[in-house]
Structure 1
Amino acid sequence: MSKRLAPLFFTTGLIISALARAGAAPSNPDRPRFARVRAGVRDLPAAVDRLSRLMGWTPTYRGDDRVMFSTDTAPLELDAATADSLATIVLSVDDVDARYRELLKRGAVSMTAPADRPSGCREASVQGPGALTLELEGPLAAPPDFSFTELRAGTGEAPGPEDTVKVRYVGTLSDGTVFDGSHRAGLPAMIPLASAIRCWSQALPRMKAGGRARFVCPPEMAYGREGRPPKIPPNAALTFDVELFGVMH
């Protein structure tokens, strides 16, 4: 079965957030809610076939001049038009490189190869139907010695990169020395992921509230060549045992 890729947002000059599912009740009834994205294509049958093959999306409505796709986050509408709409569909994925290779195997034409961006994410893009661009966005590539082990699966919410997490954790050096932990205060810690070390910003979004995990952070994903004396020496790999209690937006 083809894997479905979930759109995060779409751009047509301006970025339109589609994080809220279409059809969900708006928090403020006086505010308009996001409904769907519409793009025009000159060859509608070819565009539908290409999106279905690349994305694994199945049309929920198919007419002579309009086709609707119900994706995981926001509906996409393709209309028969005299000119192709210039737009970018940004897809949120866990592994940009793996998804990029998968799209190329399905016949996609590369536009930009996977690369880390200064904004703190990894991106790649391929040509979509018409003038559409399909862009992949995900976490920065982790070094090969980064490891994540789930000790107990959570059933609650997974944090996003800008969220604050409520956790209980213990951090140890490679020799087992404990250098930090929430146990020192006797209460769970509140950690903003936007200001956390890179290892945490990549590992915590893989967890769900109620879960426990252990992750090993190579120096380049922690405190690097300088370390954090006197507790963390230079070029130190760090191991964290973390229990996630909750997520705050």
Structure 2
Amino acid sequence: MVMRVVSVVVLSLLVAITSGCGETEEEKQFHQQLLDKALNDGTKKAGMQFLQENAQRDGVVVTPSGLQYEVLQAAEGPQPNVLSQVRVSYTGWTVDGEQFESSVGKEKQPVFTVKDVIKGWREALLKMSPGARWKIYLPSELGYGARSPGGMVPANSTLIFEIELLEILPQEKADQ
């Protein structure tokens, strides 16, 4: 697993360094093939398979972007906008069930500006109201894409999060 991630990183760096340096058309095609191979590795394929199967489950909603979600606890009320700061409780897993991050049980739950979170979170948060708890399933393009944020999350990972929107902070509170 680690070797695969290292291989993808090294391959991506080689492509980035050598691309655009007066390449012939054949060299460009070769570099594109290397990049395509790096972006369609086993991690990506396993995630795509997981999402195909998950989309068939009752209660799972699939949006046009590919975000999948299920509402665990509904809530009504205002929804954040992209400039809102929100306080959330969350846990994240890879598709093989490994938990890689969690704010649950911490003294203070984190605050994020909606525009600054990964695309899948942004899309979900913009549909949620305080008190809502959702489980979201993110294809790699809505997560960290072809890069690894480190640790237990390889590049091209499909990710699963359980997110509870605790509050939308008023502007005065958000500035503090």
Q: What's the offset of the Cα at 1:227?
A: 1.7
> 1:231 Cα deviation (Å)?
2.5
Runs of 4+ in 1 over 2 A off after TM superposition: 183-187
The match for 1:162 is 83
Which residue identity does 2:126 align to in structure 1? Answer: P
Aligned residue for 1:149, secondary structure, equals strand
Q: How many Å separate the matches in 1 of 2:80 and 2:102?
A: 20
* Aligned: 1:142 with 2:62: no
Q: Which has the larger radius of gyration?
A: 1
**TM-score after normalising by structure 2:** 0.57
Tell me the amino acid that sits aligned with residue 101 of structure 2: D
* Structure 1, unpaired ranges of 5+: 1-139
Measured after TM superposition, the shift of residue 245 of structure 1 is 1.0
| Counterpart-to-counterpart distance in 2, 1:186 and 1:219 | 30
Tell me which residue corresponds to 1:216: 137
Query: How far apart in 2 are the matches of 1:156 and 1:243?
Result: 14
Query: What percentage of residue pairs aligned between the two structures are identical?
Result: 27
User: What secondary structure does 2:97 align onto?
Assistant: coil
Where does 1:91-170 land on structure 2 (aligned, <5 Å)?
A: 141-143=64-66, 146-170=67-91
- The letter for the 2-side match of 1:218 is P
- What RMSD over aligned residues (CA atoms) do the two structures have, in Å? 1.7
- 8 Å CA contact 1:170–1:180 kept in 2: the answer is yes
Q: Which has the higher contact order (CA 8 A, sep 6+)?
A: 2
Aligned to 2:160: 239
Contact 1:168–1:187 (Cα < 8 Å) also in 2 = no
Q: TM-score, normalised by structure 1?
A: 0.41
C-alpha spacing 1:152/1:184, structure 2 compared with 1 (3 Å): closer
**Cα displacement (A) at 1:185:** 3.1
Q: How does 1:49-88 map to 2 (within 5 A)?
A: none
Structure with greater proportional strand content: 1
Q: Aligned partner of 1:193: which letter?
A: V
1:80-108 C-alpha deviation (Å, 9 max, x unpaired): xxxxxxxxxxxxxxxxxxxxxxxxxxxxx
1:197 counterpart letter in structure 2: I
Q: For the residues of structure 2 that align with 1:194 and 1:225, how far apart are their CA atoms? A: 20
